[in-house]
Structure 1
Amino acid sequence: MKATKRPVQAVATWARRQPPKIKVFLAVVSGLAALVFLRMVVHDHDNLFVAAEAVHSIGISVLIYKLMKEKTCAGLSLKSQDLTAIFLAARLYCSFVMEYDIHTLLDSATLLTTLWVIYMIRFNLRSSYMEDKDNFAIYYLVIPCALLALIIHPTTHHNIFNRISWAFCVYLESISVLPQLRVMQNTKIVEPFTAHYVFALGVARFLSCAHWVLQVLDTRGRLLTALGYGLWPSMVLLSEIVQTFILADFCYYYVKSVLGGQLVLRLPSGVV
């Protein structure tokens, strides 16, 4: 095992010492390589979206296991869970009134488990909640997303309220993890179950982003036309990319920690 770890650790050390611009370039190249691999391996790219939702569900399952086994919510952001419940509720509403399908059932299950996590943090495990560390004002996220949804939303034939709700949940989902990242940055040390949960979110976001990008490539841009005209199609893609890059830095340190055999993840300053 040591022989396999040393080259990986050497590459990780080399990458860590590179200037920020080189790191961004390496991240982009790695992302493109992963997209090419997924395009070759996964023939039905709709499966990537289902896989993203499945990985998200696995992440929440890890979170539930943490709450039930360790009887503590230390290191978790209640505000991120609140934001997750808000965008899931909005997306579930849109799914019911616009296109009822398998994703409706998946979102229903995810919303119910998220509400259960919120209940546990607010009531059963309140004494272990790090309220002083969870200090991101969520109205700085909700209000801009709502205003942006009023301005830029789908131009489909659906009711205007439904279209605005759809845009709102897309925008809010892309930044809902920011309070959780703030908590981890404030504590500097992330225990394993929380790290697994956030890493699962990062993988889910990448799979979802890959789904949209590959769909656009496969349809030669016709998918964007199907979403409507104006800025909305571009904003959908941008939101997916933003979600992925927000979590990319954390995922790098997570993988580095796992390869180094560390159970507890220590974040350096400036990661979030």
Structure 2
Amino acid sequence: MPRSRNPMRILASWFRRQPLKVKSFFAVIAGIFTLVFIRFVVQDHDNLFVAAEAIHFVGIIVLIYKLTKEKTCSGLSLKTQQLTALFLAVRLYCSVVMEYDIHTLLDTATLLTTAWVIYTIHYKLRSTYLSDLDNFPTYFMVIPCAILAILIHPTTSHNILNRILWAFCVYLESVSVVPQLRVMQNAKVVEPFTSHYVFALGVARFLSCAHWIIQVLDSRGYLLTALGRGLWPPMVLLSEIVQTFILADFCYYYVKSVVEGQNVMRLPSGVV
């Protein structure tokens, strides 16, 4: 008797043969379906944002496991970890002085674990760090984000410096993963723990983006008005969408490699 083929592999093979427009159409449909599903299944949509931060923390734990087990930081971007620590530190400060809540605790845990990852890469495993692959200039992100934060920030009653810092961490978070994606694009091959970490970031970004979109829809646009006046409200939503789309390609190839049973993930050129 002929061996039965895996339906998921058949579907993945069919999808892979489709033109880009068809793939994009199905990706949009899948995204809309997921948003609708989340909207009706999750009663308190604020939990989506908490879940996003928790998944980010889990992703960092995966990195710590990789570093302690394999004793190598090959394939990891030190620059992404530094940018992550920067926006987390700024967001933690803003959280303490502006809105102390559960997010403050999650950001504290994530910042501490990120700092440990940076210390381990920079001091303990420096010999395995591939600096030639981690070649995306961070000032290309930090400086534009700082300028944008000065120009476009919340119009709340808080201190002007705190409002600018709040905007800065929102903008920087949306692009902080770019150096990590560049490392993986340069290497073309992504080992399992690194791919799990980046996929966790992708899931976290999608949940965070879903939180904002659903909140805006449920409030019929009132949430954007509540965030302040001017360009700041749409910029918050745009930043969330940018983060999601930056990681969309990677998440597609991650799922594809899992469906095909690949132990090592391979990226084609042009994913970033």
**TM class by smaller structure:** over 0.9
> Aligned partners of 1:144 and 1:17: how far apart in 2?
39
Which residue of the partner structure matches residue 62 of structure 1?
A: 62
Q: How far did 1:6 drift?
A: 2.7
> Aligned partners of 1:93 and 1:25: how far apart in 2?
41
Root-mean-square deviation (Å): 1.1
> Aligned partners of 2:165 and 2:135: how far apart in 1?
27
Q: How far did 1:14 drift?
A: 2.5
Kept in 1, the 8 Å contact 2:12–2:259? The answer is: no
**Matched residue type, 1:215:** Q
User: Where in structure 2 are the equivalents of 1:108-119 lying within 5 Å?
Assistant: 108-119=108-119
- Paired residues, what number? 270
Which residues of structure 1 form unaligned runs of 5+? none
Q: How far did 1:198 drift?
A: 0.3
> Aligned partners of 1:196 and 1:112: how far apart in 2?
20
Which residue of the partner structure matches residue 106 of structure 1?
A: 106
> Aligned partners of 1:30 and 1:181: how far apart in 2?
23
User: Where in structure 2 are the equivalents of 1:1-272 lying within 5 Å?
Assistant: 6-272=6-272
> Aligned partners of 1:114 and 1:38: how far apart in 2?
29
> Aligned partners of 1:15 and 1:152: how far apart in 2?
41
> Aligned partners of 2:45 and 2:78: how far apart in 1?
33
SS at match of 1:156: coil
SS at match of 1:261: coil
Which residues of structure 2 form unaligned runs of 5+? none
> Aligned partners of 1:116 and 1:136: how far apart in 2?
22
Q: Could you tell me the TM-score, scaled by structure 1's length?
A: 0.97
> Aligned partners of 2:121 and 2:61: how far apart in 1?
15
**Matched residue type, 2:230:** G
Q: How far did 1:245 drift?
A: 0.8
Most deviating of 18-27 and 84-93 = 18-27
SS at match of 2:220: coil
**Matched residue type, 2:226:** A
Q: How far did 1:124 drift?
A: 0.1
> Aligned partners of 1:241 and 1:198: how far apart in 2?
17
SS at match of 1:204: helix
Q: How far did 1:13 drift?
A: 2.2
> Aligned partners of 1:17 and 1:142: how far apart in 2?
39
> Aligned partners of 2:13 and 2:140: how far apart in 1?
36
Q: Could you tell me the TM-score, scaled by structure 2's length?
A: 0.97
SS at match of 2:56: helix
> Aligned partners of 1:169 and 1:228: how far apart in 2?
17
